[in-house]
């Protein structure tokens, strides 16, 4: 994707391509949850593994690497025994965390309604089959 960057005054809704590019940063299953669990301060690898329960060790590594590469968090290694690696949001990471707050609140507020919608949809007799892979 191009290195061209727009001015900060650009409003959302004017540049679909770039929006798509950056949604690639957080548009996966784990990134937003990792960011969320770092919002209260630095965390170690295993602490995150427990907090974001359900994530595999491999995907936590991959997700953290990606967020570090994107400048969302920092990775600090202390060469001691046992090893100690801590992850912390950068200033930009904290702005991301703030930007995702409404979405997380929406999730919590609407999960019940969505359960209902799913049940109603699955009860429909004319439900189309989902294409397989």
Q: Considering only residues 12-51, where is the footprint of its own copies by CB under 8 A?
A: 12-13, 15-30, 32-33, 36-37, 39, 51
Of the residues 41, 54, 82, 125, which one makes contact with its own copies according to CB under 8 A: 54
Determine the longest span between alpha carbons in the chain, in angstroms: 61
Nearer to DNA, 2 or 102 (CB): 2
Q: Residues 25, 28, 39, 70: which binds DNA (CB under 7 A)?
A: 28
- Reported as half-sphere exposure (CB side, CA atoms, 13 A), residue 125 has a value of 0
- Among 20, 29, 69, 118, indicate the residue that binds DNA (CB under 7 A): 29
20 class by beta-carbon count within 10 Å (0-12 exposed, 13-18 middle, 19+ buried): exposed
| 85 binding DNA? (CB under 7 A) | yes
- Check if the beta carbon of residue 6 is closer than 8 Å to that of residue 13: no
14 binds DNA (CB under 7 A): no
| Whole-number Å distance between alpha carbons of 63 and 104 | 19
């Amino acid at each position: 994707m191009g290195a061209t960057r727009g001015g900060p005054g650009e409003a959302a809704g004017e540049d679909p391509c770039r929006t798509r590019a950056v949604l690639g940063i957080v548009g996966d299953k784990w990134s937003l949850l990792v960011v969320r669990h770092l919002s209260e301060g630095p965390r170690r690898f295993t602490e995150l593994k427990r907090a974001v329960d359900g994530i595999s060790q491999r995907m936590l590594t991959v997700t953290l690497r990606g967020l570090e590469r994107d400048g969302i968090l920092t990775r600090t290694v202390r060469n001691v025994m046992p090893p100690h690696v801590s992850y912390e949001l950068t200033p930009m990471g904290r702005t991301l965390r703030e930007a995702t707050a409404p979405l997380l609140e929406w999730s919590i507020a609407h999960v019940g309604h969505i359960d209902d919608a799913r049940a109603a949809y699955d009860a429909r007799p004319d439900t189309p089959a989902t294409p397989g892979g």
